[in-house]
Each structure stands twice: as C-alpha cells, then as structure tokens.
Amino acid sequence: MSRTSGPVRPASALMALGQSLWLDYIHRELLESGELRRLIEQDGIRGVTSNPTIFEQAIAGGAAYDAAIAALAREGKDARGILKALTVADVGGACDAFAPIYEMTEGGDGFVSLEVAPDLAHDTAGTIAEAKRLWAAVGRPNLMIKVPGTPEGLPAITALLAEGINVNVTLLFAVEMYQRVIEAYHAGLEQRAAAGRPLDRVRSVASFFVSRVDSEVDPQLEARIAATADPAQKVRLEALLGTAAVANAAVAYQAYEAEFSAPRFRALMAKGAAVQRPLWASTSTKNPRFPATMYVDRLIGPDTVNTVPPATLKAFQDHGRPARTIDADVAGARRQLAALAAAGISLTAVTDHLVTDGVAKFAKSFASLLAAIETKRAAAR
C-alpha cells in the first residue's frame, strides 16, 4: 500500500499505542470515489462500522442509490430485499477495500460491521438466523455482524461465535452488561474449542457507547446546579459535567483487563483465541462546549478501537493528541462515578434508559429507511 511522506498523522500514531481508528460511516460514493481507499492508505483508518441510522442517511438522504433501487425493484424485490441487496453490496465492497489490512494483521484488523435488523433486538432465534443470512450473503472473512447487547442478544452472541461468525456487540452502556458480554464471548469460544474447531480467526469487539452517557447525565447535573443555593455544591456539581462517559469507559476498560488476563481466557489464548477488544462508539461530541476530539483523546489505550464519524476524524487529524489516557486516572474515574451517585444520579437508571432508547432510535431509522425505499421502489415500478 502506498504511503505519504511527512510527519505521522494522529490517527496513524494511535496504532503505536495499540488502538485502531475505524470510520463510523459508509456510503456508496465513499467506495466508488476512491475516498475510502485514501482514508485507509493515508489516514490510517483500519475498519468501518455501520448502523441503521447511517444507512438511512445514505440511502434515503439523496439520489445516489436511486438507480440501484430502480433496478432491484424491476427484479421484483420488496423493500427489505432491496435494503439487504444495497447494504450487502456496500459492506462487501468495503470489506474488499480492507482486505489488505485484514491479511497484513492476520485477521486482527480491517473489519466492516453490518447490523442485524433492530426489530430483532429482543429475539434471540431471529437474531441468530438473520446474522447467519448476512454472514453468508456478504461472504467475506473480515465482516462483523452487529448484535445488540440486550439480554436476548447474549445467547445469540455465544451461538454465533461458536459458529465462527465475527460479532460486534453494539449498544453497550453499563459495565455490568459488558461483563455479561465478556462471559458470552468466553462461552462461544469454549463451545467452538470443545467442538475441535479453530479459534485463531474468530474476532469480536464490544462497542461501548460513550457520548450518549454525558448527554443523559449532564442535563440532570445542570438541573441540580440550578436548584442548589450552596456555592460549594455548585462547584462540585459543575466539576462533574462532561465526566460521566469517560469515567464509565475507564471502569469498563479495567473490567476488560481483569477478564482477559485471567486463567479462563489464557486457556483459550493458548488455543489461538484473540481478545475481544473494547470499541468506543458514539464518540462525536454532542455538547459544543466540549472539545471535538474529547472522546478520542481521553479513550486511548492498548487493544481498543475508536470508531468516529467523518467530522470527528477530521478534527482528530487536525489537532488530536495521541497518548495513552484510558487508564491514566482510574481512581479519579471511580471517584467521579461515586460523586454522581452521591448527587442522586443513578448510572444504572441512565444506562438502562439508554439501551431502550438506542434500540428504539435504530428501529425508527430502520422503519423510516424501509418506507423511503418503498416510495422509491413504487416510483421505479
């Protein structure tokens, strides 16, 4: 692959720190224009994630897919069939673009993620069946199937990994659920090993959503700040603004380090297993008062992935600060979470709401996308 001369760009510098930068965006024009290949070769992008909202914006937000929709409509496909064909084609093309990375890293990187339909979030059997269909349709070893981190998703994760299907566990917010996901990962690999099947090319990431935590916690803090007349209390509460998400991720990373250095995983590693990397998702800054690169700069550490939308990538390339930060102050992170609890903010209630809300938002995007495709399909026919 070609390389540009000059100083190392921040995204490329992350690799030396053990972190892969993935792009949280996909669009057919990204593939056809050669921009994705440029991002790989020049900017150090190592993978791509997608979700129903990203595909809604791509397919329903313009005319780029209209000709393909019309052709598929003339073949007699319904809206779901058209959507599957479009997404499989885009994801397959992206997988091909990342194939050199996948081979160079011996299956360690270069993945593209495709999500099961969000209306299956609470359907274990449906999730497994849909994941297998997508895996077969794309037909690339560097595909990851996204499965939501719901109670019903856990047995699906285990079953898919046992089959050798790479899994991106999405919509994780709570450390407690993340620990259950790690258990599901171990169980899947153990089942596969017991069946005498190889572990060396099975990969998984656990996608921990970040900025949405602050978006939920900070308004609660601001309400308490406005309600208190105690100047000292105001200062204490103001100091907590914009800290919950990173603190939560730092504690999750500690869980990762503990579980993947334990004897249970070392036994799997001896059989060729790779760690399930934490992936930091939802890392664009929602509050304009915070730096655009906050959820990249503060979440850098070994064996992690950060998936960023194009605007955040551009900001990080411009003024990102690559340095190991995820475990720089774990004790401070725990103090911040304890201070939130002392202020009457339940992180459990926050994360429970965010999972429900996340599933609902993706389901809404999925339904809206199908409706848009149906309109275009009807017009084409």
C-alpha to C-alpha distance for 237 and 247, rounded to whole angstroms = 15
Residue 341 resides in a domain: no
* pLDDT, average across residues 86-99: 98
- Triad 135, 137, 142: Cα angle to 5°: 45
Residue with tokens 């070893």: 141
Q: How do 304-308 and 277-281 pair as beta strands?
A: parallel
Q: How do 204-209 and 277-281 pair as beta strands?
A: parallel
Residue 21 resides in a domain: yes
Q: How does pLDDT run across 320-371, given as a tens digit for each residue?
A: 999 999 999 999 999 999 999 999 999 999 999 999 999 999 999 999 999 9
* pLDDT, average across residues 308-319: 95
C-alpha to C-alpha distance for 333 and 315, rounded to whole angstroms = 25
Residue 156: is its pLDDT beyond 80? yes
DSSP characters over 58-93: IIISSSTTHHHHHHHHHTT--HHHHHHHHHHHHHHH
Residue 74 resides in a domain: yes
The CA radius of gyration of the chain, in Å to the nearest whole number, is 21
Which of 72, 78, 77, 89 is closest to 28 using CA atoms? 89
Range of the domain at 89: 10-211+249-326+355-374
Residue 222 resides in a domain: no
* pLDDT, average across residues 229-236: 96
Residues catalogued as catalytic: 146
pLDDT band at 10 (very low <50, low <70, confident <90, very high): confident
pLDDT band at 1 (very low <50, low <70, confident <90, very high): very low
Give percent of the chain with pLDDT exceeding 70: 98
- Check residue 299 and report its DSSP letter: S
pLDDT value for 380: 83
pLDDT band at 7 (very low <50, low <70, confident <90, very high): low
Q: Under DSSP, is residue 279 helix (H, G, I), strand (E, B) or coil?
A: strand
Which of 68, 85, 81 is closest to 376 using CA atoms? 68
The domain tally of the chain equals 1
* pLDDT, average across residues 188-207: 98
Residue 241 burial by Cβ neighbours in a 10 Å radius (0-12, 13-18, 19+): middle
Across the chain, what does the average pLDDT equal?
95
CATH of the domain at 149: 3.20.20.70
Q: How does pLDDT run across 12-51, given as a tens digit for each residue?
A: 789 999 999 999 999 999 999 999 999 999 999 999 999 9
Residue 283 resides in a domain: yes
Q: What is the pTM of this model?
A: 0.95
Which of 91, 28, 38, 90 is closest to 61 using CA atoms? 28
pLDDT value for 78: 95
Residue 77 resides in a domain: yes
Residue with tokens 């100083």: 7
C-alpha to C-alpha distance for 48 and 87, rounded to whole angstroms = 13
pLDDT value for 8: 57
Hey, what are 376's tokens? 């275009």
Count of helices and strands (H, E) across the chain: 17, 8
Give percent of the chain with pLDDT exceeding 90: 95
Residue 76 resides in a domain: yes
pLDDT band at 3 (very low <50, low <70, confident <90, very high): very low
Residue 198 resides in a domain: yes
Q: How does pLDDT run across 263-312, given as a tens digit for each residue?
A: 999 999 999 999 999 999 999 999 999 999 999 999 999 999 999 999 99
Cβ 118 vs Cβ 75: under 8 Å = no
